Chains A and B, each alone.
Chain A
Amino acid sequence: MALIELEQVTKIYRIGMVDVFALNGVSLAIEQGEMTAIMGPSGSGKSTLMNILGCLDVPSSGSYRLEGDEVGSWTDGQLAETRNRRVGFVFQTYNLLPRLTASANVELALLYGRSRNAKQRALQALDSVGLRARAAHRPAQLSGGEQQRVGIARALVKDPVLLLADEPTGNLDSRSSNEIIAMLQRLNRDQGLTVIVVTHEPDIAEHTRRVIQFSDGKVVSDRPVPNPRTAIADRNAQEGSAS
């Protein structure tokens, strides 16, 4: 049983009188421990796919099984619970609450479930992304890369089975991008966390082990990356990172 199994998934949005197929018969399986990039031009359906994978939305038809559970028939409450327990989101715009400190932002993910020692766990998560010292800072006091690391800490704090990153480096400079990619790779390699990255940068995709190409709501190619590049979070070492 794969972690994610999609069969003939469609997603239809009704815009005015016209039905738009955001996803048009997508079937794919992603195994536990994979690191996958999803690529495609805007409007190709990759964000819709992410939303469905992350249980923010349900398919119009077809079947989506997460860890063997059929998601399509779930209630709002069950979807919310899954988002809380099994999925971690990393957003392009970080989506941190500006009024909360870094640690409070991480704690936010622990708010909606029975979690003990929320404060401590949030600090541990910040520690794992190297931001323990910045725990009391607000997002505005952090650099873009640091904010995204807080975002990752927030996604990780609940120990999800699936990490979904939607253009995680879209707003970052190359050095910070590298840092983030290195972090995602490390999580995948060391902890066996399943990571799915939506990106339109081929360079980022080259760091994953599988690239799924989308166009017009369909999978047009699905290929393994034979020799994924390894990102090293250091500008000087970047040249030698290709292996």
Chain B
Amino acid sequence: MSPMALLKTAWFSIGSNKLRTGLTLLGMIIGVAAVISLMAIGRGSQNFITNRIESLGSALLFVRPMSTGAGMFGGGGDADDLTLDDAYALLDATFAPSVLAVAPEIQTNGQVVAADANTFAQIYGVTHDYLDVRNFEIHNGMFISPAHVTNGSRVAVLGSDVTETLYGARDPVGQTIRLNQRVFTVIGGLESKGGSDDRRVLVPITTAAERLTRQRAGQGRVNVQTITVKAAGADLVDEAMAEVTTLLRLRHRITDEDDFTIANQQDALDTLNETNETFALFLGAIAGISLLVGGIGIMNIMLVSVTERTREIGIRKALGAKRRDIMLQFVTEALFLSIAGGGIGVGIGALLTRIANGRNIAGQNVETVFSSDIALLALGVSAIIGLFFGIYPAARASALHPIEALRHD
């Protein structure tokens, strides 16, 4: 039987019962569309997180204080053990040659009030190096200078969302705002980076400690929440980590357990990627199950079809069809169904992916990435499913004895 005749026969058989074909296709379509869109969501969130982490800057370490002691009721150290002086000490070229820059920060949040608008924002107390270390750029005005930090000046730099909310398109530089009832002068605005980074207000770290968080620390004892350390190069991250650890242990006179933790950006990225891959795999497995169900639908319909068409099979055999011809005919029909279902499913999946991209679903901003390799994979898997679930019914059809098949009514 020529391939052309085979296709024609399959097409004809499938077309002769449109409702049934449609329903069978639906099973495959839903399965494949589910695979495509769920994988797109999985990849999207992976992309999102990777981008977020990479936008922080590169070759970074994050040092944070940690309660020490294993006492059940929190006996031992407290969480305020990391100071501004610790941060500056890390810049020591002798003890920590691999450290390029440090960016200590204090985080709080509060109401930001301008002349005729207000908003809620995350307020960060930072130093001059924060800009470079965390990859921000100034859009207008200037950034917090070392002198601002030393003097505890009441100046603020606004994230792009904050600027937009408070001033619209106007230049915020020189305006006065109130942060938790205290007056600050806006000296600059940040370039947009996307996400929560744009909803920040940056002030000198000393000012934040004195005015915004009720720290009663003496000179230099400003407690910080995070010190971001930038290594001198991507290959020096491990060295920097070791140097920072040694230095802080010395400064804190620690002999046993550290009272701080150091997170490596790459480690964080790896962990998140791992989590994401598990997540994507999980989504894929769920979608795979629906694909399997679609395949079982095909098998079901093929078995019904074989029974219904027993006489036709008998006639074909009497006219000289070999087992192989009958086998091929039914396998082709199953493949037709699965590949057509898969194809439409890919289309619908791509459409759903496009519709969902950037939309707010259940409070989450969904980012989706349609990947052609997943689409091809889904198509391939549907073809394999068609083959797998088509072979058994086809084998049953081809094994029918011509006389018995002809007698069937």
Is there a chain B Cβ closer than 8 Å to A76's Cβ? yes
Complex Cα gap A84–B1 (Å):
12
| Cα–Cα, bound, A109→B320 (Å) | 7
Report the minimal beta-carbon distance from A107 to chain B, rounded to whole angstroms: 9
Q: Is B12 a contact partner of A99 (Cβ separation < 8 A)?
A: yes
- B319 with A154: CB separation less than 8 A: yes
User: Which partner residue on chain A sits nearest B312 by CB separation?
Assistant: A97
A interface vs B, CB < 8 Å? 51, 54, 56-57, 76-77, 80-85, 89, 91, 95, 97, 99-100, 108-109, 111-113, 154, 158
Contact residues in B for A76 (Cβ distance below 8 Å): 322-323
Q: Name the contact of A95 in the complex, choosing from B9, B315, B403 (C-beta under 8 A).
A: B315
Residues of B within 8 Å of A54, CB to CB, are 318
A81-B322, A112-B316 known; 20 other A-B pairs, CB under 8 Å? A51-B403, A54-B318, A56-B318, A56-B402, A80-B317, A80-B325, A81-B320, A82-B320, A83-B319, A84-B319, A84-B320, A85-B320, A91-B406, A108-B315, A111-B1, A111-B316, A112-B321, A112-B322, A154-B319, A158-B320
Does B16 interact with chain A (Cβ within 8 Å)? yes
Q: How far is the CB of A111 from chain B (nearest CB, A)?
A: 5
203-244 of chain B: CB within 8 A of chain A? none
> B322 and A99: CB pair below 8 A?
no
Which residues from B are CB-within-8-Å of A85? 320
Is B320 in contact with A113, judged by CB distance below 8 angstroms? yes
Instruction: List 27 A-B pairs, Cβ < 8 Å.
Output: A54-B318, A57-B402, A76-B322, A76-B323, A80-B322, A80-B325, A81-B320, A82-B320, A83-B318, A83-B319, A84-B320, A84-B321, A89-B319, A95-B311, A95-B314, A95-B315, A95-B318, A95-B406, A97-B312, A108-B316, A108-B319, A109-B319, A109-B320, A111-B9, A112-B322, A112-B325, A154-B319
Closest 6 CB pairs of A and B: A84-B320, A80-B322, A112-B320, A83-B320, A109-B319, A112-B321
Q: How far is the CA of A200 from the CA of B12 in the complex (A)?
A: 38
Encoded as 1 (CB less than 8 Å from any A CB) or 0, chain B from 1 to 19 comes to 1000100010010001000
What is the bound-complex CA distance between A113 and B320, given in angstroms?
8
Contacts of B325 in A (CB 8 A): 80, 111-112
Chain A's closest residue to B309 (CB) is: A97
Select the residue from A54, A81, A95 with max chain B CB neighbours within 10 A.
A95
Cα distance, A95 to B314, chains bound together (Å): 9
Q: Which of A100, A112, A158 has the most CB of B within 10 A?
A: A112
Residues of B within 8 A of A100 (CB): 12
Fill in one digit per residue for B139-150: 1 if any A CB lies within 8 Å of its CB, else 0.
000000000000
Residues of the A chain whose Cβ atoms lie less than 8 Å from the Cβ of B318: 54, 56, 83, 89, 95
Partner of A77, one of B315, B316, B323, B406: B323
Q: Which of B9, B16, B314, B321 has the most C-beta atoms of chain A within 10 angstroms of its own C-beta?
A: B321
- Kindly supply a per-residue 1/0 record for chain B positions 318-334, scoring 1 wherever the CB is within 8 Å of any chain A CB and 0 otherwise: 11111111000000000
Which of B311, B314, B319, B403 contacts A112, CB < 8 Å? B319
Q: Look across to chain B and name the residue whose beta carbon is closest to the beta carbon of A96.
A: B315
Residues of chain B contacted by A95 (CB below 8 angstroms) = 311, 314-315, 318, 406
Q: In the bound complex, how far is the Cα of B314 from the Cα of A51, in angstroms?
A: 12
Q: Complex: how many Å from CA A95 to CA B320? A: 14
Contact across chains for B323 and A57 when beta carbons are under 8 A apart? no
B320 CB contact (under 8 Å) in A51, A80, A91, A99: A80
CB distance from A110 to the nearest CB of B (A): 9
Residues on A with beta carbons closer than 8 Å to the beta carbon of B16: 99
CB-defined contacts of A77 to chain B, threshold 8 Å? 322-324
Residue of B nearest to A91 (CB): B406
B319 near A56 with CB under 8 A, answer no
Q: How far is the CB of B397 from chain A (nearest CB, A)?
A: 14
Whether the pair B403, A56 counts as a contact (CB closer than 8 A) is: yes
Bound Cα distance from A77 to B319, whole angstroms: 12
CA distance A97 to B406 in the complex (A): 12
| Shortest distance from the beta carbon of B226 to any chain A beta carbon, whole Å | 74
